[in-house]
Structure 1
Amino acid sequence: MSDFILNLVDDEEEDEITNSQLWKVAIVDDEASVHDVTKLALSNTTIQGKKLEFISAYSGEEGFTLLQNNPDCAVVLLDVVMESSDAGLLLAQRIRSELKQTNLQIILRTGQPGYAPEEDIISKYEINDYKTKSELTRDKLFTSLATAIRSFSHLEALESSKEGLRNVINASANLMKERSIHEFASGVLQQINALFNLSAQGIFCVSQRPFKGPHEFKSSTTNSFLVVAATPEYNDIYGKDIHDISSGIAANIAQRALADKKHVLEANFTALYLSTPSKWQGVVVIEGGLNLSEVDEELLKVFCLNIAVGLENAKYFSHLNRSAYYDKLTDLYNREGLVQFSAGINTQADQSVSLYIIDIDYFHDITDSLGYEFSNDVLLAMTSTLKRIFNEKASIARLHSDVFAVLVADSTWTLNNLIAECSRPFMLAGNSMRLGVSLGESHSEAKQENLDIELLLRQAKMALKVAKESKRGMAQAFEPQFEKDTLSRRNILAEFRNALVQEELFLVLQPKTSMSSGDVVGYEALVRWQHPDKGIIPPNAFIPIVEQAGLYFELDMYVFRHSLNIIKNYPQINKPISVNVSANSLHHNEFIDELKAIIKEEQADLTNIELEITENALIRSDMAIQHLNALKDLGFTLCLDDFGAGYSSLAYLVKLPLDVIKIDRAFISYITEDKRSLVLLKGMLQICHDLNKKVVVEGVETQEQVDLLTQYDVDVAQGFFYFKPMSIEDILKKAL
């Protein structure tokens, strides 16, 4: 989209007004002498400051063609009887019905004394006057013409007033269009002429500040006043800044009105100064003086006030129109602007069009630690970087937050070089700063009939997602497999939602074993998916997708409810069942209330239910700590899962209401190979025992691991060495 100022400029030219200083009078009569006498009698006659121009026709058919070719004719002197006895009346009918010349004044003339059309004919054909030729002396003919011309001019002024009002109304109804201010201003020029019975040339200027709307009311002293509407005589200054025009009375008087902030009323020119409540200014300049009476002066004040209000509305809507396509902070395109104007880049390209989506890594950390004002400066710095990197064959947009997009014609950048260039250090607040970015790229062949910008955006976002998940700080070009993977994830999510409703998910239990006695002392509930068509879908095929989609809360509640059902329906399983609670669930506002509702519905005994909380769930907010305390108050046994693999903090063991510490399988895997891991394990076990915390180690798979863990008094082990996850039927069959 072009700049806001340019949006106000329209290149269309209006048709030039011809014979503006003459009244056209048509004589339609089959007697040539009547033409000659009429012209002779009224030669050099002036009516309302304009001379008369006579045009002639000698039959009804000729008259129709003559008036058809002269739509600005004011009066027609029309003979009734010509090629037929009613030729004049038929022409009058055609003037009104076919030519639609409702303002044209028709004066019927007849050479037959005593003949007069009936009243219904005069009314039907809108005859304005009727005279016999014998009574039309020079004085009476002048009187008839003067009266007719006065009526014509009033009707034309009224028509012009209607047209001016129509333009203003249309501008109000279409203010979201780019030319709304131009249309509004053009309507104002017409309206002034109509109100004060003028046919004057003129211009309309309006200030261009504030550019971005209400927050820039306190604009700088530098301003520009663009000519946004002009009559044909002033087309040469249309679209220019009035202060850049060094010659011409209209420009000079406009500058005076703006400098003095008041109307300038002179004999040959009038300048009307406009000021809106929001400090926009404008000036209307027309040729000629208004010669205002007191009533007219009051009318002018009201009129100017209405113009100012209308101008402000137009400016606001133009601001909204710009806001629809531009980002407020950076003045780059927003997403809609990039989509709207992408075709321009496509036409510039010879070979290809590339779209880069650039995401600033860990931008939320900048905002959290240094505040929004500093993060805005970072975004502006990135804007400057992108403008430096890319030439005029590129459109740059800020899609949202810290994500930018660049649409480039015939890009020569390699992804590695572009990443390096975007990550170059820059100065901010006197300090050198370097931003890490991740980048996704898609491209299309040039000169396609319609560039599918939405497809490019979708593909570049897929590539960016891969870059952020697998190699943050790097760039990734789109590959067709990404779309297949995305479609697969989308299908899995859709099927998963249905699986929750249809209860296709079921639980298996992995026993926990006492390392001292070898007895089963509890279970961990693990979810499985029995798809009606695809069979068993393994957890790693859907759980990561579910978690990314934010559906883990629904899954956790599903597992919790079905764990309660197992305890209720299978009293033989009388050992505690551990249910995993994800970080998403622990931070969910309705987590505690939802648990309480399920417990009430199932009328469950919580004696044999334990909750396993993943360690990374504890680092995100105070809400997690509050929910842990609430869970403890409800009577749950709480287990800290995956201890040793994440953000381990011994403070958790002291401050949190934890009953069980579960050491992660990744940590246990190395205790037989790495002495340092064994030393750490011994230390953790000692601390947990001293704090009266029960310890569970998971991932126990070898006899060697069992022997080592037994030496250090580990309470409970879980792993394939003892049991794999088992169905309810198998557990009951083996009486575990």
Structure 2
Amino acid sequence: MDTQQTGLFPFKPAALPDSQTSKPALSAWKILSVEDDLTYQRTLSVELSGISILGQPIELFTANSAEQAATLLLDHPDMAVILLDVVMENDDAGLRLIGNIRNAIGNATVRIVLLTGQPGMAPRKDVMERYDINEYWNKADLTQEKLRAMLTGNIRSWQAFQSLEKSKVGLQVLIQAAQAIAPKTDLREFTTSLLDEIAKLTHANAGGIVCASVSPEKLKEQLTILAASGQFEPYIGGSLHEVLNETHIHVPLLQSYITAAIAQANHVFSPWVSVLYFDISEINGSTYIMIVNSNAHLSDYHLQLLRAFCENINDGFKKIGLIKQLSDLAYRDAELHIPNRNWLIRYLNSLSKANKTQSAMTFIRLRDFNDIEMSIGHINSMSLLMQYCQVLKQTLPNSRSIARLTYDTLVMIFDKTPSFYDIEYQQATELNTHLGDTTWTLHSNIVLLPLGDYSDDPADIILSLGKAALNLAQENAKPFYQVNAELKSTILNRQSMIYDLSAALSRDEFFVVLQPKVRLSNKAVVGFEALLRWQKPNGTLVPPDTFIPLAESAGLIRKIDAIALDLTLQAVQTLLANGYRLRVSFNATGADLLNSTYIDKLLNLSQLNQVPSEFLDIEITETMAMEHYERINPILRLLINLGYHVSIDDFGTGYSSLSHITRLAATHLKIDRSFVDAMTKHKEGEQITDVIMQLGKRFNFAVIAEGIETEQQHQMLLAKDCEFGQGYYFAKPMILADVLVWLETQAVESSGETPTLRTSS
């Protein structure tokens, strides 16, 4: 057994019995490969077999889907590295899994390495800016040598973060322990409390802990037990000699430990038995030893906690000094040596309303810090960040203090609200810092939060508002943002809306309304567009332009789209059952069409509900169709061959090229309502409509005009040979029951013809 001690002394302890000398098995680095290509998984397993990194083997876990990966991560929170494929069961499953890992699962330390066999699917710059990943590799470039080097670097970084997180937890435990003993003034009460806290630190309750009083002039006499716990509680007030004789402690070893601790006036630590030495002779003329005996092997981590605790309570009555020292460690960032988030919370909670009225905070987030760390490594990036803090304080000299809120976010505190548009703030968004001979320009977003406006808000809400405002500043590409009542309301409403939206998905709060499509020449009904609506239990209708972007940002859009598909199929079935052979269109995203699960559901539900495909029209925006043109176009072509119609929505607002239009798999083009509106207001608007009509004729698209609201627009589109249209001029969107009543008074032109693919000639 290795004996760990503080201080050196010529002492070699007797060996423990075999049952106490066994060491834990060598642990392995846990690596998770998330990949739906089973061949690649097997190849990776072969390449990693037998590899040792930093003296430890690798334990490889594999998951074939994001769901399996999430389950494994919950079961193994000590996963060091994730090798994550961009595209699995759908095009962005890997990217969405990143958000779940960092936010839902809450694992901020695991290193995420994004892999792709199709680099164009997730461009490096875009991925690095939007997602919290650590490296990005093309599978073809990742040789075995590079794989090993990459894993070694990431495991080192993971070790550093794990140590930091563990230290933070340990410090909190130590502070709690110190706070528990701080109020104690009676010696016996103090020592008993001390034993309880050490038991919590080491989990040594089962083995028992003994505290014995030692007077320097009576070292050779029997040692009296002042306090005890665990198996030694019956011996309180007795002698240590009695304990050694009547318990199963390895007596020769413990006696040698006690002798060494007293002789060297220091602690002796070991995984099984430790002797702690406290000299408080200046207080009461006595010295105390504590014997920590554990039935389980104490880890290095627990021994470090024990050592830290002992070093700071060398005289138990100097507790206030201990608390101050440990509190300083807990409230300061270990890497930058500036206050941390805990300090910010304590500071904000300590401010009176009067002080808050005169104070302000600025939140500063470095936009490119993750890329910098990947370029120069963690140690160098921390040095650069320390330099940045110094430059920042020089640029904004009126600040009271600077603290680190998150990995790439700093907070500065001002005793009075600064003028937000001072030249110093303009300069602070781009600051030059130096690392060796290299100059780095660090770009940031800055948010001002006047504390006087939030005097009744708790600290965590204030910090959350600042971070949310930084997110908005970055999303809107604004270097400055000021938190005000309106922004606070927006942020809180957004959080509440996301909660309500999640609940609405399971409470059937969504329904569709149908807007008629007509033939412009005779106003006969030729079909409908299904539009999703959300009505809360209190009757409030939430507009789509509010909940759709929210669903996209919250990762709920696929569930929304699935509901829209189900409701559309039900509507078509009802129309057919009532004798109306009318096609209904519904909106789909590029992500939906690239998701095999969605396509399977579309085909299966269509068959189960006995809805012929020719009565369904898939609407996809021009922008979405073009963003993933090479992958989406074949899917659209396949759907058309199966009888579905495909409409390109908002045509003219995206970025189609003529070369793509000639080969675009679609049956209809929809003229955006903005062009229909502009057509009657100025010549340029009419010219855009003319161009779209000419493209439709040239490439054999049927053309539908959206947003027709006046007879003038109707007549102008007729004059341009536009065949179909929809808008309030003909009818507003209606629920299905009202549609059936309305149809009784309308001319109806049955749909149902099978679409044909266009030729490019």
TM bin, normalised by shorter chain, reads 0.5 to 0.7
Q: What do residues 193-214 of structure 1 show as CA deviations (whole Å, max 9, x unaligned)?
A: xxxxxxxxxxxxxxxxxxxxxx
Q: What do residues 654-686 of structure 1 show as CA deviations (whole Å, max 9, x unaligned)?
A: 243122111211122111222122223222221
One-letter amino acid of the counterpart of residue 156, structure 1: T
Q: What do residues 100-138 of structure 1 show as CA deviations (whole Å, max 9, x unaligned)?
A: 4749xxxxxxxxxxxxxxxxxxx99xxxxxxxxxxxxxx
Which residue of structure 2 lines up, in the alignment, with residue 531 of structure 1?
536
Match of 1:721 among 729, 737, 751: 729
Distance change >3 Å, CA 167–CA 406, structure 1 → 2: farther
Which residue of structure 2 lines up, in the alignment, with residue 404 of structure 1?
409
- Whether 1:73 and 2:218 are equivalent positions in the alignment is yes
Distance change >3 Å, CA 164–CA 723, structure 1 → 2: same
Distance change >3 Å, CA 461–CA 633, structure 1 → 2: farther
Give 1:142-541 correspondences, 5 Å limit: 156-157=259-260, 164-165=268-269, 166=274, 175=301, 337-339=340-342, 343=346, 354-359=360-365, 373=375, 380=384, 383=388, 386=392, 388-390=394-396, 393-397=400-404, 399-400=406-407, 404-410=409-415, 413-417=418-422, 419-424=425-430, 426=432, 437-444=444-451, 452-467=458-473, 472-541=477-546
Q: What do residues 449-468 of structure 1 show as CA deviations (whole Å, max 9, x unaligned)?
A: x9954222112134335545
Deviation at residue 577 of structure 1 after TM alignment: 0.5
Which residue of structure 2 lines up, in the alignment, with residue 611 of structure 1?
618
Q: What do residues 256-278 of structure 1 show as CA deviations (whole Å, max 9, x unaligned)?
A: xxxxxxxxxxxxxxxxxxxxxxx
Deviation at residue 578 of structure 1 after TM alignment: 0.6
- Confirm or deny: 8 A CA contact 1:614 1:641 kept in the other structure: yes
Partner-residue secondary structure (3-state), 1:416: coil
Deviation at residue 696 of structure 1 after TM alignment: 1.2
Which residue of structure 1 lines up, in the alignment, with residue 598 of structure 2?
591
- Confirm or deny: 8 A CA contact 2:349 2:459 kept in the other structure: no
Larger Rg: 1
Partner-residue secondary structure (3-state), 2:512: strand
Partner-residue secondary structure (3-state), 2:531: strand
- Confirm or deny: 8 A CA contact 1:505 1:529 kept in the other structure: yes
Which residue of structure 2 lines up, in the alignment, with residue 698 of structure 1?
706
Deviation at residue 717 of structure 1 after TM alignment: 1.4
Deviation at residue 612 of structure 1 after TM alignment: 0.5
Gaps (5+ residues) in structure 2? 1-163, 175-212, 223-234, 247-254, 277-291, 316-325, 747-761
2-side partners of 1:559 and 1:694: how far apart? 24
Gaps (5+ residues) in structure 1? 11-67, 78-95, 104-122, 125-151, 187-227, 232-317
Which residue of structure 1 lines up, in the alignment, with residue 686 of structure 2?
678
Give 1:133-144 correspondences, 5 Å limit: none
2-side partners of 1:485 and 1:468: how far apart? 16
Deviation at residue 156 of structure 1 after TM alignment: 3.3
Distance change >3 Å, CA 570–CA 458, structure 1 → 2: same
Match of 1:542 among 538, 542, 547: 547
1-side partners of 2:216 and 2:238: how far apart? 8
- Confirm or deny: 8 A CA contact 2:429 2:446 kept in the other structure: no
- Whether 1:662 and 2:667 are equivalent positions in the alignment is no
Deviation at residue 563 of structure 1 after TM alignment: 1.2
Partner-residue secondary structure (3-state), 2:678: coil
Partner-residue secondary structure (3-state), 1:415: coil
One-letter amino acid of the counterpart of residue 620, structure 2: I
2-side partners of 1:610 and 1:668: how far apart? 22
- Confirm or deny: 8 A CA contact 1:459 1:483 kept in the other structure: yes
Deviation at residue 601 of structure 1 after TM alignment: 4.1
- Confirm or deny: 8 A CA contact 1:592 1:631 kept in the other structure: no
- Confirm or deny: 8 A CA contact 1:611 1:636 kept in the other structure: yes
Distance change >3 Å, CA 591–CA 421, structure 1 → 2: farther
2-side partners of 1:338 and 1:154: how far apart? 42
One-letter amino acid of the counterpart of residue 530, structure 2: A
Match of 2:587 among 580, 587, 594: 580
- What value does the CA root-mean-square deviation take over the aligned residues? 5.3
Distance change >3 Å, CA 341–CA 524, structure 1 → 2: closer
Distance change >3 Å, CA 415–CA 568, structure 1 → 2: same
2-side partners of 1:718 and 1:428: how far apart? 61
Distance change >3 Å, CA 716–CA 173, structure 1 → 2: same
Distance change >3 Å, CA 704–CA 383, structure 1 → 2: farther
Q: Which has the higher contact order (CA 8 A, sep 6+)?
A: 2
Q: What do residues 354-392 of structure 1 show as CA deviations (whole Å, max 9, x unaligned)?
A: 43333466x69x96xx99539999995894654543568
2-side partners of 1:480 and 1:462: how far apart? 14
Distance change >3 Å, CA 375–CA 732, structure 1 → 2: farther
2-side partners of 1:229 and 1:70: how far apart? 19
- Confirm or deny: 8 A CA contact 2:521 2:718 kept in the other structure: yes
Q: What do residues 544-585 of structure 1 show as CA deviations (whole Å, max 9, x unaligned)?
A: 433332322112111111111122222133111110113553
- Confirm or deny: 8 A CA contact 1:441 1:459 kept in the other structure: no
- Confirm or deny: 8 A CA contact 2:534 2:541 kept in the other structure: yes
**TM score, norm. by length of structure 1:** 0.52
Which residue of structure 2 lines up, in the alignment, with residue 564 of structure 1?
569
Distance change >3 Å, CA 655–CA 76, structure 1 → 2: closer
2-side partners of 1:70 and 1:397: how far apart? 48
- Confirm or deny: 8 A CA contact 2:645 2:667 kept in the other structure: yes
One-letter amino acid of the counterpart of residue 164, structure 1: V
- Confirm or deny: 8 A CA contact 1:511 1:723 kept in the other structure: yes
1-side partners of 2:302 and 2:333: how far apart? 12
- Confirm or deny: 8 A CA contact 2:429 2:479 kept in the other structure: no
Which residue of structure 2 lines up, in the alignment, with residue 112 of structure 1?
none
- Confirm or deny: 8 A CA contact 1:586 1:617 kept in the other structure: no
1-side partners of 2:575 and 2:239: how far apart? 93
Farther off after superposition, 459-468 or 715-724: 459-468
